[in-house]
Structure 1
Amino acid sequence: MTSPPAPAPTGSEPPRASEPSGPSGPAEPVGDARVTAADRALLEVARAEGGARVPDDGSVIVIHREPAGDAGEFAWMPDDQNYCLAVVRAARASTTCNPLPKSWARIGIRLVIEAVAYREGPTVYFAVVDGGHAPYAYAGRGPQSPGRGPVRDATAAFASGRTLSLLTYERPSGQILPGDREICSADNAVCFPTLDVYVPGSP
């Protein structure tokens, strides 16, 4: 079961302008984010276990897949203002569908939430970032703290030419780790703190 998002951080910048209105059509996956035959098991688990109406029109965006085919995260966006995320682990699925916030506190960052919090094991975080600045990774050098998984990302493209980066990463829920650092795009155009959680629909 998906845990409720954490409260928005205090003392952040004022919300920035919202995105342009109007329909944009469904997003399409770019490159390795396209569904392959090996991903069918993930989709079926989400349909059966998560109760989700996973589309079958090529609009599913695979963010992360394990070689064994029994774990991963994928999303779909009917337009550029709404998303659905499915997280699959060990033949169990959790699916969340929500609108993106109308405004946000940090330029370029549309959403950061705790997607799924497990009783045992790390929490899966999900972020939506403007533009296609992949790949994303933890900023800075040095060893990675135990309990913090790699950053995975995929690109969602709309017919208008607009792109969004969809990211997932795992870490202990709400816990600051030694040497904690931001997640940044490869060109350092976009960075955000790993626990900078925004509540959908917040002003």
Structure 2
Amino acid sequence: MPSTPEAPSTSGPAAAVGEGKVTPADAPLLEAVRRYPEARAQGDDSIVVIHREPAVGAGEFAWMPDDRSYCLAVVRDGRASLACKPLPKSWARIGIRLVTKAGPFSGQAGATGTRTVFFAVVDGGHGPYQYAGSAAPGPDAGPVRDATAVFASGRTLSLLTYERPTADLPPRSGPDICSADNAVCFPALDAYVG
């Protein structure tokens, strides 16, 4: 029996909160992102800035056209990669909607080798997030960066990025990432969907 398609979500696009809002300094990074056809319809008010380093041509941006899908843009050296995908319909770990590898990238200025950027979507605005637990993330691990997206309904999601040297990725282990209030924790290197 064929399945019936899901009705479109009426949640509308998410908006950035606080430091996640686009600023004039983000223009060079956004220009790299807007070269993609999928990015052309996004206004600045619906882009969530997770991480920005315009001086080195690096950053991560996301937008959510509705509460069931996302687009993530990773900019390195003024070049962007873009992925637009649906969020999973169900999830085994409470509060975590997605943890995925955004892809391997060349290291930024001062860094060597290839690095893997991870992206997570977490229910609620429980930030800031950081590494926790007894397992240290390693000296070359990038910090956890997060931003909050809010929908017109009031629903909030935390959008996180963090990176590791690609050669330093042990399978399904490593430190946890937890919210400031410890309401949400998850293994940093467990890519649940990707």
List structure 1 segments (4+ residues) > 4 angstroms apart after TM superposition. Answer: 141-144
Q: Would you say the 8 A contact 2:28–2:54 is kept in 1? A: no
Which of 26, 31, 39 is the equivalent residue of 1:53? 39
> C-alpha displacement at 1:76, in angstroms?
0.5
Q: Would you say the 8 A contact 2:33–2:82 is kept in 1? A: yes
> C-alpha displacement at 1:53, in angstroms?
1.9
Residue of structure 1 equivalent to 2:188: 194
Which of 88, 91, 95 is the equivalent residue of 1:104? 91
Task: Assess, with a 3 A threshold, how the Cα gap between structure 1 residues 65 and 152 changes in structure 2: closer, same or farther.
Answer: same
Within the alignment, does 1:77 sit opposite 2:64 as a pair?
yes
Aligned pairs, number:
178
What SS does the aligned partner of 1:87 have?
strand
Residue of structure 2 equivalent to 1:171: 164
What SS does the aligned partner of 1:58 have?
helix
What is the distance in 2 between the residues matched to 1:141 and 1:31?
A: 31
5+ long unaligned stretches in structure 2: 1-7, 107-112
Q: Which structure has greater helix proportion?
A: 2
* Greater RCO structure (CA 8 Å; 6+ sep): 1
What is the distance in 2 between the residues matched to 1:130 and 1:172?
A: 27
* Cα-Cα RMSD: 2.2
Q: Would you say the 8 A contact 2:50–2:147 is kept in 1? A: yes
Identity, % of aligned pairs? 63
Q: Which structure has greater strand proportion?
A: 2
What SS does the aligned partner of 1:118 have?
strand
Q: Would you say the 8 A contact 1:76–1:85 is kept in 2? A: yes
Q: Would you say the 8 A contact 1:41–1:69 is kept in 2? A: no
What is the distance in 2 between the residues matched to 1:167 and 1:142?
A: 20
**TM-score under structure 2 normalisation?**
0.84
What is the distance in 1 between the residues matched to 2:19 and 2:29?
A: 15
Aligned amino acid, residue 27 of structure 2: R
**TM-score under structure 1 normalisation?**
0.81
